[in-house]
Chain A
Amino acid sequence: MASYQVRTFIGIFFVDENKKIISFKPFPKDPKEVAPLLNEKSEAPAEIEKFVKENLLKYAIEYKFVKNQIEFNQFLTKVNSELTKQKIKESASRDNLIIHVNNAVEELDRSINIFVERLREWYSLHFPEMDRVIENHEMYVELIGKFGDRENFNDNRLNQFKEKSSGMEFNKEDIETVKLFSSDISKLYELRKEFTNYLSKLLKEIAPNFSVLAGDVIAAKLIAKAGGLERLSRMPSSTIQLLGSEKALFRFLKSRGRSKSPKYGLIYNHPLIQNSPSDKQGKIARLLASKLSIAARIDYYSKEYRGDQMKKELEAKVKGILSLKK
């Protein structure tokens, strides 16, 4: 005679084909211990399983697992809380790292900008000519850390200015303090580099196809904006195309169509769009968004790497668009 095992949250039932319970092996009455036991599936036919499930309260009382419905409900609640906690732990997957690192980079950029602006104004008291000559922020910060007093500067671009500078004199303490500031800003630049290297590694691991098509910077921002790879993979490509343009979209909706509807969000910064004439950008944006949406799905569901091939296809199609007459 056939007997089936039915796994329930109170224990395992052995049932014959006439739906008679042959025996019952209870689980421990501790929700934390029960939750992992439920990961295995029962192998009984659906009909038998359904029968046991529907009568579970009755059996739980018969086999003295619980006294009454109240206790039964409480136990069911606790076990499912444990299961859900377990699921959340598993699903809090590594793409959350991308979100945090990306956002940290964006915040670092904002802070660095504020500090460099301050440093430029401050140091211009002493060496105002340098502000225009050295436009690159990081370079500006580095030079101050390296040389300090303008007297000590040895840099082709600046030597001609230092003798006849119109800036005021800084004493030793003035110089040391501004150097301290610049060296801390340099450290922020280093931190930023560490973060972006790490971000590239994460992207290769978690979204290899997506990041090869989008480029690391845009890929990380899109994943962060979408709230993770899973959400991104569920988005239609028209949404991906507009991600990051929320403000413009809102303006459009509020104006009831009187202002221009935005055509693209973050992906606008992609080189394939940036390097194309403006009358072709809309079409390329749509194409890019649809490829990105496919790539996000592959990354979420399988991670099988097809990035190089997809990138070639994408570039060929863009070429096609660019060669079209208006």
Chain B
Amino acid sequence: MPEVKKTKFYGVFKIKGKISTINLVPNQKVYGEELIKEKSVEYRVWDFWRSKPAAAIKNGLKGLPIEDGIKVLYLGIANGTTASHFSDIIGKNGLIYGVEISDRPFRELIPTAEKRGNVIPILANARKPEDYENVVLSKVDVVYEDVASDDQVQIMIRNCEKFLKPDGFAIIVIKSQSIDVTKHPRQVYKECLQELEKYFEIIDKVELDPYEKFHLFVVMRWKG
């Protein structure tokens, strides 16, 4: 009998040594992840090779501000691999606004979103928050950004200005290779953090090697 253990992360469990979330839509896989049933509860294994917050947890992240019932603005949601675990954690009362610029991933994202009922797919450019301000009904608790572009820090700041609650959290995945290939990743991180510190209080940061090379996962609080 596998034993299920709580972790310090809200809605995240350890089962058979693997971190997982409770499946919001039982029997449905999102990206080929393993499903484990225990005492009539179904858990979805959170694959740290496929999803950056899972890699961050694996690498010693101290806390994740994703909780039951909150609203998240997700920039660069792609096909919803990571968002599906957030969707598990925030539950049916929570809501994820998922912005994605490329139309390709929507083929997979839309069915996932419709089944879950708490993920709103938005085809838009995160550089133009005006284009989706109609859809985002009210300010959100968390802005999560994983867009891999050279202006990713600016994109984050602009979206927080528009959509984040005054004491809300922001999570950014910095990809040094998208920002400057010629500089050492640590140097790129340092420069990004300096810029971010003008707007945010940095709470925690972990590098995602070896799961994602040259990526830094940063949790912050908006100074508003």
Contacts and interface: CB of A to CB of B under 8 A. Distances in A.
A163 interface: no
Q: Which of B92, B106, B120 has the most CB of A within 10 A?
A: B120
A80 B120 contact: yes
A114 interface: no
Q: Which of A54, A74, A80 has the most CB of B within 10 A?
A: A80
A74 B117 contact: yes
A81 B113 CA distance: 8
Contacts of B14: none
Interface in A80-97: 80-81, 84-85, 87-88, 91-92
Given A53-B137, A53-B138, A56-B137, A77 B120 contact: yes
Interface in B110-141: 110, 113-114, 116-123, 135, 137-138
Interface residues of B, number: 21
B93 A76 contact: no
A130 to B, nearest CB: 49
A293 B32 CA distance: 41
B117 A80 contact: no
Given A81-B113, A87-B123, A73 B106 contact: no
A88 B103 contact: yes
A134 to B, nearest CB: 46
Contact of B114 (A57, A77, A253): A77
Chain A binding surface, main DSSP class: helix
A81 B137 contact: no
Given A80-B120, A80-B121, A88 B114 contact: no
Contacts of A225: none
A238 interface: no
A84 B110 contact: yes
Q: Which of A70, A76, A84 has the most CB of B within 10 A?
A: A84
A84 B123 contact: yes
A84 B106 CA distance: 8
B181 interface: yes
A77 B138 contact: no
A47 B92 CA distance: 29
Nearest to A85: B110
B93 A73 contact: yes
Contacts of B89: none
Given A74-B92, A80-B121, 9 more contacts: A53-B137, A57-B137, A73-B118, A76-B120, A77-B121, A84-B121, A85-B106, A88-B103, A92-B103
List the 3 closest A-B pairs by CB distance, nearest first. Answer: A74-B117, A70-B92, A80-B120
